[in-house]
């Protein structure tokens, strides 16, 4: 518990927290039903709308009769997850901002890594905590907190990871600035957002689906894969096609976020350098040209559109 408390702070005054989730500075005490502390303070109507949206059904969810072996085998199908696991040191302190139901947090919680998995949705956190108990993974602490008044301690983490979250906030650039502050100096910041170009095929599918009242969603490979898993299928359908707040971004735009927040960009994944075959996520990529970057993003319409056009940018805090 003391290891976890060192990575958290009171969301009201930023004071240190004791093992009973009490702030030593202002005296605030936070409840922790089911072992998940609730650090939420008053949120804006737009943030509250997103939180309510994810309460039912939580995204992305777990398949029925899931086990640790099948979970890890499923996660290992992702090239990015494999490379990330390989790149992060075995004793790292990791924050996942917007963890959803916690799949990445559970996947990375190995060796002596300690992961704080934060999200707005208690329903999602409960699913993640239940999976952690079922799989016997003890190095993850799930916390309920708002990104903008967070209980995560600034500068406390070796790696800060946030995927599929910032593009669902009212101001993604401002949200990124707060995420970046969580990393220590020299720490790694990893952000995944929708790419404005790679998202175009999905936007076409969504327009067709809305026109026919969602009776048909054409050419969505994830929905096909989950046709026998109604809960996970519905979670994907809601997240991708009915979300109340969504933005998409170019590579250049996200790189400007990094620069303005004191984070040096290392690379994108997939790479925007056309002949880059490096498997080292935390190593700088070769310089790319503007035209090369646009060619890469046009290619993502085919390679990334099946999963919504999500791409990653990786940097190191100065």
Yes or no: say if 32 and 1 are a contact pair by the CB < 8 Å rule: no
HSE-CB at 58 with a 13 A cutoff on CA atoms is: 20
pTM: 0.91
For the purposes of burial, counting CB atoms within 10 Å of the CB of 30, is it exposed (0-12), middle (13-18) or buried (19 or more)?
buried
Q: Confirm whether 307 is domain-assigned.
A: yes
Higher pLDDT, 234 or 170: 170
Q: Confirm whether 261 is domain-assigned.
A: yes
CATH number for the domain harbouring residue 239: 3.40.50.150
Q: Confirm whether 14 is domain-assigned.
A: no
Q: What is the pLDDT of residues 8-48, one digit of tens each?
A: 999 999 999 988 899 999 999 999 999 999 998 876 677 67
Q: Confirm whether 37 is domain-assigned.
A: no
Angle formed at CA 131 by CA 232 and CA 135, multiple of 5 degrees: 130
Q: CA 38 to CA 122: how far, in whole Å?
A: 9
Domain that holds residue 186: 44-317
| Pick from 125, 185, 190, 123: nearest CA to 151 | 125
Helix residue ranges, H only, the chain? 2-5, 45-53, 68-75, 79-87, 103-108, 122-135, 172-180, 200-211, 221-225, 230-241, 251-260, 290-303
Number of compact structural domains in the chain: 1
Q: CA 84 to CA 233: how far, in whole Å?
A: 26
Yes or no: say if 145 and 151 are a contact pair by the CB < 8 Å rule: yes
Provide the pLDDT for residue 56. 67
Q: Confirm whether 5 is domain-assigned.
A: no
Looking at the chain, the whole-number percentage of residues with pLDDT higher than 70 is 96
Phi and psi dihedrals of 300, rounded to 5? -65, -20
Q: What is the pLDDT of residues 181-230, one digit of tens each?
A: 999 999 999 999 999 999 998 888 888 888 888 777 778 887 888 887 77
pLDDT at residue 63 tops 90: no
Yes or no: say if 175 and 166 are a contact pair by the CB < 8 Å rule: yes
Other beta carbons less than 10 A from residue 27's beta carbon:
11
| Pick from 87, 145, 104, 97: nearest CA to 266 | 87
DSSP 153: P
Q: Confirm whether 82 is domain-assigned.
A: yes
78 preceded by a cis bond (ω within 30 of 0): no
Which two three-digit tokens encode residue 205? 């599918």
Q: Confirm whether 147 is domain-assigned.
A: yes
Q: Confirm whether 103 is domain-assigned.
A: yes
Angle formed at CA 297 by CA 291 and CA 247, multiple of 5 degrees: 120
């Amino acid at each position: 518990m003391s290891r976890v408390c060192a990575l958290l702070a009171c969301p009201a005054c930023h004071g240190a927290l004791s093992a009973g989730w009490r702030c030593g500075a202002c005296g605030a005490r936070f409840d922790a039903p089911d072992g998940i502390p609730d650090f939420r303070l008053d949120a804006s109507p737009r943030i509250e709308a997103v939180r309510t949206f994810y309460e039912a059904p939580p995204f992305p969810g777990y398949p029925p009769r899931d086990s640790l072996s099948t979970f890890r085998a499923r996660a290992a199908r992702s090239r990015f997850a494999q490379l990330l696991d390989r790149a992060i040191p075995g004793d790292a302190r990791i924050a996942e901002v917007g963890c959803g139901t916690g799949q990445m947090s559970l996947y990375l919680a190995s060796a002596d890594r300690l992961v704080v998995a934060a999200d707005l949705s208690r329903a999602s956190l409960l699913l993640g905590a239940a999976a952690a108990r079922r799989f016997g993974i003890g190095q993850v602490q799930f916390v309920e907190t708002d990104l903008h008044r967070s209980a995560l301690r600034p500068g406390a983490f070796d790696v800060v990871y946030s995927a599929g979250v910032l593009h669902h906030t009212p101001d993604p650039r401002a949200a990124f600035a707060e995420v970046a502050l969580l990393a220590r100096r020299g720490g790694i910041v990893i952000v995944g957002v929708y790419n404005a170009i790679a998202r175009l095929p999905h936007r076409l599918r969504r327009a067709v689906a809305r026109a026919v009242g969602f009776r048909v969603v054409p050419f969505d490979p994830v929905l096909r894969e989950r046709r026998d898993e109604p809960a996970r299928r519905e979670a994907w359908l809601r997240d991708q096609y009915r979300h109340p707040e969504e933005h998409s971004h170019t590579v250049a735009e996200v790189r400007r976020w990094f620069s303005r927040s004191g984070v040096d960009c290392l690379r994108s994944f997939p790479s925007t350098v056309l002949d880059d075959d490096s498997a080292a996520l935390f190593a700088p990529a070769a310089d790319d040209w503007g035209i090369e970057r646009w060619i890469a993003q046009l290619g993502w319409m085919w390679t990334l559109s099946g999963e919504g056009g999500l791409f990653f940018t990786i940097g190191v805090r100065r």
